[in-house]
Amino acid sequence: MNPLTRVFMRLTHGWRGDLLALVAGVATPLAFAPIAWWPLAVLTTAVLLAVWLFSAPRRAAWRGFLYGLGLFSVGISWVFISIHYHGYVDLGLALLLTLLLIVVMAMFPLLLGALLGRLFPQGFETRATRYKLLLVFPAAWALMEWTRGWFLTGFPWLSLGYSQTDSPLAGLAPLVGVYGVSWAVVFSAALLVGLLLDKAGRIFYSAMLVLLWLVAGVLNDVDWTRPHGAPLDVALLQGNIPQDLKWHPDVRRPTIELYTELTRQHWDADLIVWPETALPAFYYETESFLNDLEAEAQQYDTDMLIGMLTLDKDKRRYFNTMMSIGTQRGQYHKNHLVPFTEYLPLKSILGGLVSFMQVPMSDFSKGGADQAPLKVADQYAGISICFEDAFGEEIINALPEATLLVNVSNDAWFDDSWAPPQHLQMARMRALETGRPMLRATNTGISAVIDEKGRIIERAPQFQVASISATIQPRTGMTVYAVTANWLVVVVALLLIGVSFWRLRRAPVE
């Protein structure tokens, strides 16, 4: 037995292995924004894989849960801020609801650890465990994150691929999307474990690791899309309205005046974008104001995108809306709503939970998945509102017509936590996946202009009234990911797992 293998077996025995799994989970969020130590994602995942290799099924499940508990307790603790401070839920109940979400998310690595621990033997002395490490682990991880992205409407936060927006692995995003990048992170971690534990295969593991990162780095320089039309001068406005005041009647007029003043400073732009619900009123209440603003915009040949609420009076439904004004009117209604804050699942059963949480405007209707991009400044914009940009498979529905992406949000719900920089990082991934520039206008930050490579061109400081200007190049064409969505990763992952089982059944290991 390799001496290093003996060391690992001692380190992973009993409570030591449990502690390693927990520490790996706690450290992993540091790989994401705002800390952005992206190599850490590979290292912490390698620790978890090594721990799993030497765990019986029940222990592997427990260690998966500890990893998830550490990961989500640190990485999404900001959920508590929105529930308690802005949802006005009692401290004890807010803590309970936050813990419940963390536990539910931790169940995913728990189930993955249990499944892999049951299907493959412990240790690193057989062909089966090498299949498990190199083929099954990365593929199963990608499937786990993909499932987390749609199960119960989806919560894809802290998928490992997002941590790599500034690493060479970002070059894989236009091919395989965020879950494919996650696969590459876990595969890199598996190669590191193999490099340490499998003395006979060190040349192979080293070569594969170098090759993966080298190819990904080269792909960063590939242009998957091409310019379309003339560059656009754009301006993004950030009003910095505190969440606790946003819907107060006395603040409505000052808010409108602030955004109008900021707008008039940028009539030289082709496109001006206001954040999500920047206009703190229904469309029918401000129609006269919007008509006047539109007439003024037309004088300067400027188009605008404005976040507001719209109401279908006949059906008594209201929507979280982005409206285009200027050369032509258009609307996009938010479709992927946040459960328990924007709508209530099983409303007839759960009753007044949302009203109990006192969340303003918390009974939205869906806009529909087939909404067309909005025409602005002679281009077509794929619109997403709030956390809709967390779902790459939904963003590509606007392609190939959309030549740029626009996301508007109100991350004031999360104060000065890690949520806004994490959210910005996810928007950068959407730009990478689609090969399109992304305009991101937010209420309190982080507003940013992102190019088709996911690089930030301009960004506004948080918690300041600000506006940012930049020139972007709209683009056309389809990346591989835009054509295949997540199905390429899902199918390949299933094939790799299937082939591993088939090979092991044909050639039983010693």
**Residue 386 falls in the annotated catalytic set:** yes
Catalytic residue (choose from 276, 388, 394, 452):
276
**Residue 199 falls in the annotated catalytic set:** no
Catalytic residue (choose from 386, 388, 394, 433):
386
CA angle 309, 311, 314 (to 5 degrees): 175
Position 179, amino acid: Y
Which sign does the torsion angle of CA 198, 200, 205, 206 carry?
positive
Query: CA-to-CA distance for 411 and 433, rounded, in angstroms?
Result: 23
Query: CA-to-CA distance for 219 and 124, rounded, in angstroms?
Result: 33
Which sign does the torsion angle of CA 371, 374, 375, 380 carry?
negative
Question: Which segments of 334-404 does DSSP mark as H helices, in order?
Answer: 347-350, 353-357, 392-395
Query: CA-to-CA distance for 203 and 467, rounded, in angstroms?
Result: 53
Q: Exposure string (b/e) for 262-277, b if CB count within 10 Å is 16 or more?
A: bbeebeebbbbbbbbb
Structure tokens at 390: 């967390």
**Residue 334 falls in the annotated catalytic set:** yes
Would you put residue 183 in left (φ > 0), alpha (ψ -120 to 50) or beta? alpha
Residues written for the chain: 510
Q: What share of the chain is helix, strand, coil (3-state, %, to 5)?
A: 55, 15, 30
CA angle 265, 269, 272 (to 5 degrees): 80
Query: CA-to-CA distance for 53 and 189, rounded, in angstroms?
Result: 13
Catalytic residue (choose from 334, 342, 393, 394):
334
Cis omega (within 30 of 0) for bond into 446: yes
* Cβ contact 165:454 at 8 Å: yes
Q: Which of 419, 389, 411, 363 is nearest to 241 (CA)?
A: 411
* Cβ contact 481:176 at 8 Å: yes
Position 208, amino acid: M
CA angle 160, 162, 168 (to 5 degrees): 95
456-459 and 438-442 strand pairing: unpaired
Cis omega (within 30 of 0) for bond into 156: no
Catalytic residue numbers read 276, 334, 386
